[in-house]
Amino acid sequence: MDIIVCVKQVPDTTTVIQIDPSGKEIVRDGITNIMSPYDEFAVEEALKLIEANGGTVTALTVGPESAKEALRSALAMGADEAIHVVTDGAPLALDSLATAKLIAKAIEGKSYDLVLMGRQAIDDDAMQMGSLVAELLNIGQITSAIKLEIEGTQVKAQRTIEGGLQNIEATLPLVVTAQKGLNTPRYPSMKGILKAKKKPVQDIPAGSLGVSLEPKVKIEALVEPPARPAGRIVGSVDELVAALTQEIKVV
């Protein structure tokens, strides 16, 4: 089984985010980046599948030179090789559709049975990539999977839906997006980290793929959320009830 796992480099959730003077990007100098956590579930599931069935795992990312860090994380976990679609300019300049087109074009001609990725990236929370890539590749998709079983070309999956769970059957090739609960991602070992440095990473300039990168969705402005009001200490239950019912009016 040959599996392609799409990963994305995102700012660490503990990093303090500042808006660039342009108002359309964040300040990326000096921030800590990580692989998007949902993508870690996808990498782990790919590794589990090849450990059980044999095959290869190829990590793929789209982004600037710094995005290689996410690929190295996937390689350190156990992926065999990586593909980096190298883009220029600000990461937010690419919308979801343009990114999906680059991913699909990079995958075309590759040997694959399954494409795995996180259900969403934690920076833009667009939650579109799996569906867009599946449509562009003209193959089926299962989103938000928390259980995945593959026997031959037959796939059984369980996914989260509002108010419950849904069981789905499908046939390879397929795009599957990973939800929290699918597995527990492994930590890269020191041996894995050292091996990752020697594993092949193929660089593909985005401009060589013949894809229009003109965004259909453009960011007009990034605005920081309003500051939270200061907390208030009440002196009694009666004062608390009065505040909730008369001032805040949540009760």
pLDDT tens digits, 98-122: 999 999 999 998 999 999 999 999 9
Q: CA–CA separation, 179 vs 176, rounded Å?
A: 10
Please check whether residue 99 lies inside any domain of the structure: yes
The domain spanning residue 119 has which CATH number? Answer: 3.40.50.620
DSSP-derived letter for residue 192 is H
pTM: 0.87
Please check whether residue 128 lies inside any domain of the structure: yes
Query: Can you give the residue range of the structural domain that contains 206?
Result: 2-223
pLDDT in tens, the chain (251 residues): 999 999 999 999 888 888 888 888 888 888 889 999 999 999 999 999 999 999 999 999 999 998 999 999 999 999 999 999 999 877 777 899 999 999 999 999 899 999 999 999 998 888 999 999 999 999 999 999 999 999 999 999 999 888 899 999 999 999 999 999 999 999 999 999 999 999 999 999 999 999 998 888 888 888 888 888 888 888 899 888 888 888 877 76
φ/ψ region of 54 (left if φ > 0, alpha if ψ in -120 to 50, else beta) reads left
Please check whether residue 245 lies inside any domain of the structure: no
Please check whether residue 235 lies inside any domain of the structure: no
Distance between first and last Cα of the chain: 56
State the total domains in the chain: 1
Contact 202, 75 (CB under 8 A): no
* Residue pLDDT, tens place only, 210-250: 999 888 888 888 888 888 888 888 889 988 888 888 887 77
Paired tokens of 115: 């494409």
The amino acid occupying position 104 is A
Residue 200 preceded by cis peptide, ω within 30: no
Paired tokens of 174: 């397929």
Contact 208, 108 (CB under 8 A): no
Q: CA–CA separation, 233 vs 129, rounded Å?
A: 45
Please check whether residue 239 lies inside any domain of the structure: no
Q: Return all residues near 132 (Cβ < 8 A) that are at least 6 apart.
A: 96, 97, 100
